[in-house]
Amino acid sequence: MTASEKIQLHESVWVAPGAQLYGHVEAAEGASIWPNAVIRSECQYVRIGRMSNIQDFVMIHVGYDYPSEIGEFVSITHHATVHGAVIEDHCLIGINATLMDGCVIGRGSIVAPGCVVREGTVVPPHSIVAGVPGKVIKERDSARDNRWNAWNYYRNAAAYRDGNHRAWHGDDYRAFGIDIKKKIAEDRDL
């Protein structure tokens, strides 16, 4: 790391072997960064919120004028690209989705797989966005469903840290699911 780089990861963050972080990158408590994810910030910064997961082959970059800011309990799924965008809390970004400079994804939203959200687009909270270019196709608060996904990745990261690659299997996982879904339903997981 050079003197100009600023990598700040909470001690609980799990970073998979093969993930690459460059520049100014921050990740909060319980976040996870999965294999072959690349996070670069030659200018601006990348901030990843608490309990968020950056899945395999995700690319997060910044624009010259736009940082990439990812809220709490956000799942950015495989092969997605985030380029100088803001993702508010409790969102899910689908496989191969692309978010461009200056766009904002409102709280509790879902961006469908393969969707391209153009520069400067502001997606209202509780939206489902799909298509190329991305458009709101439905309104629905998906925050609780999206938090369930984030909790699964939090559990998975803890298991991977211990060398267990089967965290979503067996009676223990079923018990975890029942418990955390109750907490989510009552917002006691926040």
In this structure, the answer to whether residues 85 and 152 fall within a common structural domain is no
For residue 128, tell me if it sits in a domain.
Answer: yes
In this structure, the answer to whether residues 61 and 126 fall within a common structural domain is yes
Only one residue has tokens 């879902």, namely 110
Which is more confident, 5 or 128?
128
Q: Is residue 127 part of a domain?
A: yes
- The half-sphere exposure of 120 on its side-chain side, counting CA atoms within 13 A, is 0
Same domain, 88 and 152: no
Q: Are 70 and 112 within one domain?
A: yes
Which domain does 161 fall in, by range? 144-185
190 in any annotated domain: no
Is 154 found in the same domain as 119? no
HSE of 152, CA atoms in CB hemisphere, 13 A: 17
**Which CATH number covers residue 18?**
2.160.10.10
Q: Whole-prediction pTM value?
A: 0.96
pLDDT (tens digit per residue) in 18-56: 999 999 999 999 999 999 999 999 999 999 999 999 999
Structural domain count of the chain: 2
**Could you report the per-residue pLDDT of 109-125, keeping only the tens digit for each?**
999 999 999 999 999 99
Residues 148, 87 share a domain? no
36 domain residue, yes or no: yes
> What percent of the chain clears pLDDT 90, i.e. is strictly above it?
97
Please tell me the number of Cα atoms within 13 Å of 121 on its side-chain side. Answer: 22
Per-residue confidence band for 5, with pLDDT thresholds at 50, 70 and 90: confident
Residues 117 and 153 reside in one and the same domain: no
Residue range 77-92: mean pLDDT, rounded:
98
**Are residue 19 and residue 57 in the same domain, yes or no?**
yes
CA 97 to each of CA 52, 75, 113, 121, 162: distance values in angstroms, whole numbers, following the listed order: 17, 12, 5, 14, 31
Q: Is residue 1 part of a domain?
A: no
**Does 73 fall in a domain?**
yes
Looking at residue 3, its pLDDT comes to 57
Domain co-membership, 126 together with 178: no
Rounded distance, CA 125 to CA 115, Å? 17
54 C-beta neighbours (distance < 10 Å), count: 31
* Cα end-to-end span (Å), the chain: 34
